[in-house]
Structure 1
Amino acid sequence: MKKSKAILVLSAVLLMAGCISVTEGTENNSENAKQVSASAEKEPTATATPTVEPTEAPVTETPTPSPTEVPAEPTTVAERPEDYVSAPEYEFTSVPDYNGSITQYVVNNNVPLFTEDQIRSAGQSFEYYAPLDRLGKTTYAMASVGQDLMPTEKRGDISSVHPVGWWSMKNSDIGPERCHIIGYQLSGENDRDTNLMTGTHQLNVTGGMLEYENKVADYVHSTGNHVLYRVTCDFRENEDLARGVLMEGRSVEDNGAGVQFCVYIYNAQEGWTIDYLIATAERDITPEEQGQYMEYGAGQDEAGTAPASNGMTYVLNTSTRKIHTPGCPSARQIADHNRAESTLSIAELEGQGYSTCKRCLG
């Protein structure tokens, strides 16, 4: 019986030992599992993450347009021909004085003084009239003359315009004319004050301006092309009358083959002496006329000076401040409102600002 108890006790002990071993194994396994789990949480398994490189926007090539698709460049302000207008760079003092016979003087070998920009931009018609100067005188005008600028009707009346120097020249009986800087037949401009100047018939018609205006008009009408054209007045300092004009012309589309000129036209009149400062004129005396005037005792004395009055009555032009003998043709042409008579001597009249007429008093 004791033996049986011993066996039972031993069996129980062994059984308990086995449970403990199993329990410890289980606990050890659980602990290991916890450690593995903790390790897994603390040190996650590294996985290779692919490197993402920045992507660039796809480049699309702009197709080159064909010649028919090339867009026209917009015309900028600088491309307008009016932006290149200017007076020529020329010293008028280099022009010889009028000698009584020549009406024109060729400048720069007859080649216009236009700039490259002015020539390049003249393919379309335009016209420009520079403002009057501080004394109210015309300065210059420039145009690319085309058929679209030319008038379609006859010129109107321009008698209401009185350019500087008009009235004093009118009182000189030379018959001044209102001269268009750019001729009416080229521009259609009628009575624009910045396009009119006081001039002689010789300047306006017989001496040259009309000649070159006709040349330009004929070319434009016959070809449909343009002519770059500029006329500049030659006013010296404070003179009231221009001494002349510089005329320039160059056909555009054929690079000057059809028309090209650069000439100075004198504002003069054969047989007349003009005072450009005060815009007056006196007709020159001929040898035959000088002999006639001697009959009136108005010649010079032996010393070459004008004689004293000696009771003689002189005719005065109060506008031109000239002294005439009664028989002088110039005296007979003085307007009534500018005419006066005086018995003072020449010296006394000169002291009042008068001067002797070259026709009758030398």
Structure 2
Amino acid sequence: MKRFFIYVAFSFFCLVLQALGADDFVRFSNGFSILLFNKSVSSNSVKDTANFCLCPPLTQTQGGAFCFAGGGENLAKAFFLKPSSGNFYGRFAEGLKVRKGDISLESAVFSRRFLPLKKAYSEILKNFSLSAESFNPALVDVAAIKISQWFDWVSFGFQKDVFKPENVSENADFMLASSAVFNFDFVLPNGFADLKFTFKNGKVVDKKAMVFTDDVAVGEFKDFDAAVLNVKNTGFSIVFIKPKNFERAKEMLSKLDAESVENAFNVLKMLANSAEFRLIVPKFKLDSALMNLNTAMESIGAGAIFGKTEYPKFSDEKLNVGNVFQAAFFSMRPAASGGGLTTSSPAKTLVLDRPFAVAVCEAKTGRIIFLGAVENPKAN
């Protein structure tokens, strides 16, 4: 009966979307996120023990700045942007200037040499966290020095202090760097449980698991089961996706598209508070360290930024981006529980006892802010 309800609700919601028109902004952004994630995962890194995570909207927002500074339609398409709409780009930057305790999203554009910056360039950079507070001690590889003014960063010294010289293109006029921290250790589960996490190769490990029964919705879909956990007072929801077939989380993500993720998120939102649900997820963390995304950016058609390009809003000279760097971090390892477990009625339960994917989405829109593949939960 529950499956029938989910099917009817999903069908009705799809009809509503068709009538009202889906939010192209969310779908374009999610499409970029899934594509960049898949292109960033090299074939030789797809292993049972290989976790991976990324915060694509930060890179997309940076690309948007260069797109609108250069006015290039092809570059706009590569970043899934509408070149004729400045407001469309503005929405990408909206919501990304976040620095609240355990959650931090930061983007910056760096120059190896001082450039004759135009006023319009400074206006564009207002979409980035370029201030004395743009420093994240949890990611020393990205921000190794605390700054008092942005112009301290545009000197050659920044590259010397933060990045290894061999990792930076010699002729780079610009470098793009971003960092994302989602430390959800403050999210208290309703209780804890013991969980046996099984790898695709048959290996089983014992894991401490969190049990959530509040602010949770669980649903079944064609190729995967999913749950959404609303994180109060943050504006974000965490989505967990478990493949129906026993496959790696990265392989499963490569089969998803933006529309399927969007529809699943909206169905789960509708199911919230309609029944009792339970989510059992192992304690885990993801840490991408410092990544160079040049190859991934080229593979999705954004290679133009690495060639000498005219950016009239930046400078009268032809300039190029040398490197695109990012570091991302995610953690769910609370030390305490809140509330208590309820057993008044049978609950629809999703148990993440094998590789799964995790996404952080805007709670209102379902826009993907973070994507991760959990092939192996790390030590508690």
TM-score (norm. length: structure 1) = 0.25
Structure of greater Rg:
1
More strand by share: 2
Higher RCO (CA 8 Å, separation ≥ 6 residues) = 2
